[in-house]
Amino acid sequence: AQTVTQSQPEMSVQEAETVTLSCTYDTSENNYYLFWYKQPPSRQMILVIRQEAYKQQNATENRFSVNFQKAAKSFSLKISDSQLGDTAMYFCAFMSYTNAGKSTFGDGTTLTVKP
């Protein structure tokens, strides 16, 4: 079974600064996806970024980028130029190719962006 660990329950950052959220996972699978989802106070789950394990290049989406270290089973999210709208809970999630359609989630990191 896979596990996903987010060791930072809460974090804060000043507006316009950069913050990094940590995630580690454990799996014996070789082919899988990793995701970061954002959950603002509205409760909606929103995909932030995804990474396929076979890709060596780290994924980026505008101000969001990841540092994917496959051997270390680490998948951190960097948010650059933080904005007030980034305030949310962030979840790291794992999905293997052999169990597509279901994900294992970490417990989340609550991020507060301060003006």
Partner 1 sequence: NAGVTQTPKFQVLKTGQSMTLQCAQDMNHEYMSWYRQDPGMGLRLIHYSVGAGITDQGEVPNGYNVSRSTTEDFPLRLLSAAPSQTSVYFCASSPRYGGELFFGEGSRLTVL
Q: Which residues bind partner 1 (CB under 8 A)?
A: 4, 6, 9, 33, 35, 43-45, 47, 50, 91, 93, 95, 97, 100-108
Please tell me the distance from the alpha carbon of residue 46 to that of residue 30, in angstroms, as a whole number: 26
Q: Which is nearer to partner 1, 88 or 93 (by Cβ)?
A: 93
Nearest distance in Å: CB 12, partner 1: 17
Nearest distance in Å: CB 107, partner 1: 5
Asked if 103 and 91 touch (Cβ cutoff 8 Å), the reply is no
Cα pseudo-dihedral 89, 90, 96, 100, rounded to 10: 50
**Element housing 23 (H / E):** none
Please tell me the distance from the alpha carbon of residue 51 to that of residue 53, in angstroms, as a whole number: 6
Under DSSP, the state recorded for 62 is T
Nearest distance in Å: CB 84, partner 1: 22
Nearest distance in Å: CB 102, partner 1: 5
Q: Which is nearer to partner 1, 18 or 55 (by Cβ)?
A: 55
Q: Which is nearer to partner 1, 82 or 109 (by Cβ)?
A: 109
